[in-house]
Amino acid sequence: MSITFSMTAGELVTRAMQARRCLALGRSPTAAEMTYGLERLNQMLKGLAAVGAIPWAAEEATAAITANDPDVTLVPVPAEVVSVGLVVSSSYERPLFRWEIGKYDSLINKTQSGDPTVYIVRETDTGVGLRVWPVPTANKTLNYRYVRIPEDVAQASAMDLPQRYIGPIENALAGRLTVFANANPDLGTLAAQAEAWLLDQARPDSYFFEPDFCA
C-alpha cells in the first residue's frame, strides 16, 4: 500500500483548469495560462492563511522583548498569531491574554511597568509585531505559536499541504480561474463546498470562555 501521492503546483493548476473544463485531458496549459494559474494559486494560499484555513502550517518560535520596550517585530512574518506565552523559567511558560487594539487604547496607564500579562498583534504593510503590557523592566523571552505564510510556489514546486487537502484546494482554485468561461455547471457548488471545508478544518473542536483577570 502506498500513501505517497503528491502534486506539483503546475500539476495542480493543470488539474484545476481541467476541472473548469477549459483544458482538455492530455493538453498542457500555455505559458500565459500557467502563469495566470500560479498567480491565482499563490493569491489563494495567502488568503487562506490570512483566515487561518491552513492549520498544517502551524509553527512555534521565540521573540526577545527588550527592557522598557513593549514592542517586538516577528520574524518570519506570520499569517496569524495563535497564542503567546511569557517564559518565566526553563520549565514554566505563563500564557498571555490577547487584547484587541480598542481595549489596549482604552488603557490610561500604557507605560505601567511589570511582567507582561497581555499582548496585542500589530500588523502593518511591512510586517507583524507584538505589543505587550505592562512594559517589562528587564529583557524577556516570548514563546508564540503562529500560522506561517505559505511560500510562493512555482510550476515545479511541490505543494506544501497534506494529501487530504489536495482535492479541495484544486476545486477551490478552479472556482477562482475567472478569466476562463465556466463550462462546468457543477463547479460553482464544488468550489464553494471546497472553500467551506477548508475553513472548517481550521475551527477548533471546542471553544472555551474564561474571565479576563487583567482588566
- Report pLDDT digits (tens) over 145-201: 998 888 889 999 998 888 888 888 898 898 888 877 666 666 667 777 776 767 676
**Band (14; pLDDT cuts 50, 70, 90):** very high
Task: Report pLDDT digits (tens) over 93-117.
Answer: 999 999 998 899 999 999 999 999 9
User: Residue 40, Cβ neighbours under 10 Å: how many?
Assistant: 19
Residues 6+ apart with CB under 8 A from 55: 147, 201, 202
pLDDT at 215 exceeding the cut of 50: no
Q: Is the pTM higher than 0.85? A: no
What is the residue-averaged pLDDT of the chain?
Answer: 86
> What is the bridge-based pairing of β-strands 97-98 and 118-123?
parallel
* Residues 16, 170: Cα–Cα separation, whole Å: 5
Task: Report pLDDT digits (tens) over 45-54.
Answer: 888 887 777 7
What integer pLDDT is reported at residue 11 of this predicted model? 95
What integer pLDDT is reported at residue 178 of this predicted model? 81
* Residues 178, 29: Cα–Cα separation, whole Å: 15
Find the mean pLDDT for residues 69-98: 93
> What is the bridge-based pairing of β-strands 58-65 and 118-123?
unpaired
What integer pLDDT is reported at residue 135 of this predicted model? 96
Give 94 or 76, the one with higher predicted confidence: 94
Domain boundaries in the chain?
9-53+152-201, 56-148
Share of the chain above pLDDT 90, in %: 50
Find the mean pLDDT for residues 131-144: 96
